[in-house]
Amino acid sequence: MQMKNEKTSMATGDPLAIADQFAQALDREKYAVAESLISDRCEYHCRGSVYHGPAEIVASYQGNGDVAKQFDAVEYESTVERELNGQIRVRFVDHLTHRGQRLTFRCEQVVEIGERGKIVRIEHIDLPGQTEALAEFKKTAFGQTPKSERESG
């Protein structure tokens, strides 16, 4: 089941709707909304690092968004689905353009919603070849890798 409804609300308490609201907030760079959906006890596991709590987690996403502003154009999209095992998976797609070069970068995150309707755990999943393609794109687009690595989210 894919969610694209812009009117999803935390008030429903539906974990899928909460994860969708979170993904849409990140897609639109509405960081205050994203932060409001994260539990104080939340952990975000990403590429060997662990971020704790709403402020630190959202700062990592915002840092990625700031890096993306170096590109000529960036379009974000996401889909959210509940898997057969009950996990909620967010699929992020970033369409990047710079100096006539284009890349579509994909990654996934497994999001766990706690009993109080807030996100309590996020696990970033790099898809095969995607980080390498992104690094090569940055190298080609900028002649070197920008200051901070883009993690998408």
Q: Both tokens of residue 49?
A: 């690092």
Mention every residue, 6+ apart, whose C-beta is less than 8 A from residue 21: 8, 9, 10, 33, 37
Note the pLDDT of residue 118.
97
**What pLDDT is recorded for position 142?**
84
Instruction: Give the max Cα distance, the chain.
Output: 47
Point out the least confidently predicted range of 61-70, 122-131, 137-146. 137-146
pLDDT of residue 1: 34
Using DSSP, state whether 83 is helix, strand or coil: coil
Q: Which residues, other chains included, contact 147 with Cβ-Cβ below 8 Å and sequence gap of 6+?
A: 67
Per the model's pLDDT, the better-predicted residue between 66 and 60 turns out to be 60
pTM: 0.84
Share above pLDDT 70 across residues of the chain, in percent, rounded to a whole number = 86
Question: Which domains occur in the chain, in start order?
Answer: 12-142 (3.10.450.50)
Average pLDDT on 98-122 reads 96
